[in-house]
């Protein structure tokens, strides 16, 4: 370990959730429901499945290192140029590419407390320093983040909208005010992993903002509403020069050919995303009403998950596991009294709520 630089040794590893099979073996039970990683309970578009089958036929060939077809589909959909798109191995890759391209040892990057756990990791692995800015009501305090970015002479700011794990949402007006006030030499990664879940009245066109803000990077993913988390496909839009820098530090074949083909098909299937949204909206009402009925505080969420406050969160998490439901402890987000549950199918949400009721009953 001493061979690694001190800033690598100081990294606290990302703790991914365990898969169902491992937990079932550990606990000696079957039929576990996983509501822990904000995955799409509907799976993915059948058109994406068909495209994957087709792509297998050419699996002996390297993928298109430039991702022409997928970029082209994104270009058509979002009205940007080809040289404004970067593709990645999940949107985590986007966060790392931005950090690798623009940060070095000693640089500073700003993010909000309770913001996505990969920001500090991406910053630390290049020897830069993260500045965590206290949140307001579990959401980003953009005024404080602006001040922190300027005072620390930060190179990069990460903003998640909606945020994970809290589900909070920043209005486009607030985001624009922040972008206009920020010195243009500070880059902003606007992480919109949950963008497709936004209700109609909250939608905004951050891609159109690229014209006004050459320092803006908009990051999106196929892991959430498109249901392709296992394939690992993400993308980002930015100014052509910014994108050029990110492409220089990208692995040549970072998105495999099956993933590229599936993503093109998934993007075209708007009906699937609409169904996903409808299910999520109903499920969110079901879960939040259930939490309220149990007397639990929760943070109103704009994503496909919700964080709720519960005494003895670690023990409750374990008990829910034994009762066959995996949720996500978020103590690593400085929220030790909270758990996060992803919105599932109606029956899965029901199973979660009844397990939670049982776990709470045992407490008294
Ligand atoms: N950003 C946010 C806010 C997320 O919650 C996630 C997934 N947990 C990601 C990015 C990364 O997802 P992926 O790499 O699967 O695109």
* Predicted confidence (pLDDT) per residue in 172-196, tens digit: 999 999 999 999 999 999 999 999 9
Cβ(220)–Cβ(234) below 8 Å: yes
Cβ(186)–Cβ(214) below 8 Å: no
CA 192 – ligand 1 centroid, Å: 9
Rounded distance between C-alpha atoms, residue 306 and residue 314, angstroms: 17
Does one domain contain both 50 and 192?
yes
Does one domain contain both 53 and 162?
yes
Does one domain contain both 61 and 193?
yes
Q: Which of 254, 269, 284 is the last residue of a domain?
A: 269
* Predicted confidence (pLDDT) per residue in 95-144, tens digit: 999 999 999 999 999 999 999 999 999 999 999 999 999 999 999 999 99
CA 92 – ligand 1 centroid, Å: 6
E strand segments, the chain: 33-34, 85-88, 108-112, 129-133, 156-160, 187-191, 216-221, 234-238, 305-309, 325-326, 328-329, 338-342
* CATH number, residue 318: 3.90.1150.10
* CATH number, residue 142: 3.40.640.10
Other residues' Cβ atoms within 10 Å of the Cβ of residue 263: 28
Does one domain contain both 205 and 332?
no
Reported ipTM: the value is: 0.99
* Within a domain: 175: yes
Measured CA distances, 158 to 110, 243, 313 (Å): 6, 16, 28
CA 214 – ligand 1 centroid, Å: 23
Does one domain contain both 250 and 281?
no
Q: Which of 269, 285, 307 is the last residue of a domain?
A: 269
User: pTM for the complete prediction?
Assistant: 0.97
Does one domain contain both 156 and 246?
yes
- Give ligand 1 pocket residues (Cβ under 6 A): 38, 90-92, 116, 160, 164, 191, 193, 221, 223, 229, 234
Does one domain contain both 114 and 74?
yes
First to last CA, the chain: 47
* Within a domain: 1: no
**What pLDDT tens digit does each residue of the chain (364 aa) get?**
899 999 999 998 887 878 899 989 998 999 999 999 999 999 999 999 999 999 999 999 999 999 999 999 999 999 999 999 999 999 999 999 999 999 999 999 999 999 999 999 999 999 999 999 999 999 999 999 999 999 999 999 999 999 999 999 999 999 999 999 999 999 999 999 999 999 999 999 999 999 999 999 999 999 999 999 999 999 999 999 999 999 999 999 999 999 999 999 999 999 999 999 999 999 999 999 999 999 999 999 999 999 999 989 999 999 999 999 999 999 989 999 999 999 999 999 999 999 999 999 985 5
Atom 6 in ligand 1: residue holding the nearest Cα: 193
Does one domain contain both 259 and 337?
no
Atom 5 in ligand 1: residue holding the nearest Cα: 164
Does one domain contain both 19 and 77?
no
Does one domain contain both 173 and 93?
yes
Cβ(146)–Cβ(154) below 8 Å: no
3-state class of 109 per DSSP?
strand
| Nearest partner of 347 among 17, 19, 42, 137, judged by Cα | 42
Pocket test for ligand 1, best of 115, 118, 160 (most atoms within 8 A of CB): 118
Does one domain contain both 17 and 92?
no
Q: Which atom of ligand 1 is nearest to the CA of 303?
A: 5
Does one domain contain both 72 and 198?
yes
Domain limits for position 34? 6-43+271-363
Q: Which atom of ligand 1 is nearest to the CA of 234?
A: 16
Number of folded domains that form the chain: 2
Q: Which of 248, 269, 290 is the last residue of a domain?
A: 269
């Amino acid at each position: 370990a001493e061979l690694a630089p001190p800033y690598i040794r100081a990294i606290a590893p990302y703790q991914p959730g365990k898969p169902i099979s491992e937990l079932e073996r550990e606990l000696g039970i079957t039929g576990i429901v996983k509501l822990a990683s904000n995955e799409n309970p509907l799976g993915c578009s059948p058109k994406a499945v068909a495209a994957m089958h087709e792509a297998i036929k050419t699996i002996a060939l390297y993928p298109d290192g430039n991702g022409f077809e997928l970029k082209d589909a994104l270009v058509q959909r979002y009205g940007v140029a080809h040289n404004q798109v970067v593709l990645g191995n999940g949107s985590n890759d986007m966060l790392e590419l931005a950090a690798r391209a623009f940060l070095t040892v000693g640089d500073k990057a700003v993010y909000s407390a309770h913001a996505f756990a990969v920001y500090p990791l991406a910053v630390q692995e290049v020897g830069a320093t993260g500045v965590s800015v206290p949140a307001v009501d579990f959401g980003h305090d953009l005024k404080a983040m602006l001040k922190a970015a300027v005072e620390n002479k930060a190179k990069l700011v990460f903003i998640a909208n909606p945020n994970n794990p809290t589900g909070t949402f920043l209005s486009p007006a607030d985001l624009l005010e922040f972008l206009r006030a920020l010195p243009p030499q500070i880059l902003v990664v606007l992480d919109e992993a949950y963008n497709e879940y936004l209700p109609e009245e909250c939608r905004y066109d951050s891609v159109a903002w690229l014209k006004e803000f050459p320092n803006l990077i908009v990051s999106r993913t196929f892991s959430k509403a498109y249901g392709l988390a296992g394939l690992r496909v993400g993308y980002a839009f930015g100014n052509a020069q910014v994108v050029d820098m990110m492409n220089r530090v990208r692995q040549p074949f970072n998105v495999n050919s099956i993933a590229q083909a599936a993503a093109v098909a998934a993007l075209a299937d708007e009906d699937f995303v609409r169904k996903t949204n409808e299910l999520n909206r109903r499920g969110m009402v079901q879960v939040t009403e259930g939490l309220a009925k149990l007397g639990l505080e929760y943070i109103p969420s704009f994503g496909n998950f919700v964080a709720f406050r519960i005494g003895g969160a670690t023990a409750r998490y374990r008990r829910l596991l034994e009762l066959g439901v995996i949720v996500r402890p978020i103590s690593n987000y400085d929220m030790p009294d909270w758990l996060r549950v992803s919105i599932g199918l109606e029956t899965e949400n029901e199973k979660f709520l009844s397990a939670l009721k049982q776990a709470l009953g045992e407490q008294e």
